[in-house]
């Protein structure tokens, strides 16, 4: 049976990728964005993608996280039939589909909130939101105050302890599974959602579809709080994300080594969790914009695909595109798709290398599900670790320096043995527990014991 650690994700922010208007006028004709995604499937398959995370894509006022209707696809992108057809085609191509679930808050155009604005305390939905106070006012002059997510009053916090709210949201999940045949959800702002609700969601969804996968967005904190039996299956690994870009940016490979050891070694915090690993996403700077030495993007993605967990690529980053947040919006992180991104030699090289990393991972049980052990980290910016199963032994050696380096690796399990570099097909001989290898600048070797 396929595991989620066998997946390689591609992450799409459809409102940006498909170039829809920034604001929803709620009256224009349905767009063709979802239908247009079909043309990308051959490219995704060549990247080794077998899971697609799309979100958000239900009706909203602007950026998608201000939901207006959980039961209808964002009409700027298409309609419900378009989503059903897209999922069908993706499944036929061997690609699982995960959608964004925005259950912590809604937009102000959501029907229940509009009813409260009209009827105030007489509304049957007055208990659907947190801390509504009809003795106060707000910046919109609604005649009451309420809690907004992270202080954003455009995102109204739902009361997930309210039976009506839970019934409405779980009904939407049932509809998404039965109508669109989706395979899982990414829970937005999961860190501020009650564990009790997430447990009910897990039981409810897996009772409909046993293999249903739930992944939560957590920026910081103990991942085990939400990712455990009976709750979520995985969470976003922001700790690894941060150490990936900053280690290569600062030429401090110790940070990356420390993070991987802390998370995944036998004595680490999460050797039992299949965390969702990424180099960038719709909320953070593009990884290519975070590196002083552009060449380091190659070993960075090599580490992403060789680490324990589930790797993900954010749309466009397979071509090394740039994008940074600014104080006003995230638009530069969420651009409209351009075929021209693939035109430069650097972009083609990165795409091809990511495809190779993905293929090696797909063909290696050790890289997908093996144990993790740190072997070497030093001031020359060389970092080595092993991934092992009973039947396969892999050693990954990274040179984060812009200079050629020699790695002298002493490891009691090497003995006298032969190793093949899966990237170059070169053979290396180890003697007396010692392996000597020349490393090219900003590159890595992925060695399999012969």
- 55-71: per-residue pLDDT in tens? 999 999 999 999 999 99
Q: Residues 198, 202, 205, 208: what is their CA dihedral angle, to the nearest 10 degrees?
A: -150
pLDDT score for 315: 98
Compute how many other C-beta atoms are within 10 angstroms of the C-beta atom of residue 243.
Answer: 23
Q: Which DSSP category does 333 fall into?
A: G
- Going along the chain from its start, the domains and CATH numbers come out as 4-110+156-366 (3.20.20.80), 111-155 (no CATH), 370-449 (2.60.40.1180)
pLDDT score for 381: 97
- 179-224: per-residue pLDDT in tens? 999 999 999 999 999 999 999 999 999 999 999 999 999 999 999 9
Q: What is the mean pLDDT of residues 292-309?
A: 98
Cα 69 from Cα 201, distance rounded (Å) = 19
Query: What is the Cα gyration radius of the chain?
Result: 23
List, in order, residues 6 or more apart from 121 with CB less than 8 Å away. Answer: 134
Q: How confident is the model at residue 8 (pLDDT cuts 50, 70, 90)?
A: very high
At 76, which helix (H) or strand (E)? none
pLDDT score for 402: 95
Cα 352 from Cα 287, distance rounded (Å) = 17
pLDDT score for 98: 98
Environment class of 427 (CB within 10 Å of its CB; exposed 0-12, middle 13-18, buried 19+): exposed
Nearest to 158 by CA among 122, 194, 124, 121: 194
Q: What is the mean pLDDT of residues 124-145?
A: 97
Q: What is the mean pLDDT of residues 363-384?
A: 97
pLDDT score for 327: 86
The yes-or-no verdict on residue 413 having pLDDT over 90 is no
Q: Residues 191, 90, 92, 175: what is their CA dihedral angle, to the nearest 10 degrees?
A: 60
**Cis amide leading into 175 (omega within 30):** no
Q: Residues 315, 319, 325, 329: what is their CA dihedral angle, to the nearest 10 degrees?
A: -50
Q: How confident is the model at residue 1 (pLDDT cuts 50, 70, 90)?
A: low
The yes-or-no verdict on residue 102 having pLDDT over 90 is yes
The yes-or-no verdict on residue 2 having pLDDT over 80 is no
At 338, which helix (H) or strand (E)? none
């Amino acid at each position: 049976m396929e595991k989620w650690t066998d997946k390689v994700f591609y992450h799409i922010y459809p409102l940006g990728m498909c170039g829809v208007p920034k604001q929803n006028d709620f009256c224009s004709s349905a767009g063709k964005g979802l239908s247009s995604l079909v043309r990308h499937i051959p490219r995704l398959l060549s990247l080794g993608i077998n899971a697609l995370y799309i979100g958000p894509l239900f009706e909203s006022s602007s950026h998608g996280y201000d939901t207006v209707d959980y039961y209808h696809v964002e009409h700027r992108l298409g309609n419900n039939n378009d989503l059903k057809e897209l999922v069908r085609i993706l499944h036929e191509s061997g690609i699982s589909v995960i959608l964004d679930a925005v259950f912590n808050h809604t937009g102000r155009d959501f029907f229940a909130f509009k009813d409260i604005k009209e009827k105030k305390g007489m509304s049957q939905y007055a208990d659907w939101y947190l801390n509504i106070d009809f003795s106060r006012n707000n910046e919109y002059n609604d005649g009451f105050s309420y809690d907004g997510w992270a202080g954003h009053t455009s995102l109204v916090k739902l009361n997930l302890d309210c039976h009506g709210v839970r019934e409405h949201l779980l009904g939407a999940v049932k509809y998404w599974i039965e109508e669109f045949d989706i395979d899982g959800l990414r829970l937005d702002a999961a860190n501020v959602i009650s564990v009790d609700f997430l447990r009910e969601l897990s039981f409810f969804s897996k009772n409909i579809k046993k293999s249903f996968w739930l992944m939560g967005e957590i920026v910081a904190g103990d991942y085990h709080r939400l990712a455990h039996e009976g709750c979520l299956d995985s969470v976003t690994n922001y700790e690894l994300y941060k150490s990936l870009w900053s280690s290569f940016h600062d030429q401090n490979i110790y940070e990356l080594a420390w993070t991987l050891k802390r998370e995944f070694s036998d004595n680490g915090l999460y050797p039992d969790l299949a965390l969702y690993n990424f180099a960038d996403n719709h909320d953070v700077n593009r990884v290519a914009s975070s590196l002083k030495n552009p060449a380091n993007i190659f070993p960075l993605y090599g580490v992403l695909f060789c680490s324990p967990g589930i790797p993900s690529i954010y749309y466009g980053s397979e071509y090394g595109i740039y994008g940074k947040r600014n104080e006003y919006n995230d638009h530069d992180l969420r651009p409209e798709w351009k075929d021209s991104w693939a035109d430069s030699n650097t972009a083609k090289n990165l795409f091809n290398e990511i495809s190779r990393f993905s293929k090696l991972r797909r063909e290696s049980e050790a890289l997908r599900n093996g144990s993790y052990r740190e072997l070497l980290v030093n001031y020359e910016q060389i970092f080595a670790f092993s991934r092992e199963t009973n039947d396969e032994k892999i050693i990954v050696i990274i040179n984060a320096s812009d200079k050629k380096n020699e790695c002298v690796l002493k490891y009691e399990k090497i003995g006298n043995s032969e190793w093949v570099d899966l990237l170059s097909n070169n053979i290396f001989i180890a003697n007396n527990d010692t392996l000597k290898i020349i490393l090219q600048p900003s590159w890595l070797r992925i060695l399999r014991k012969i």
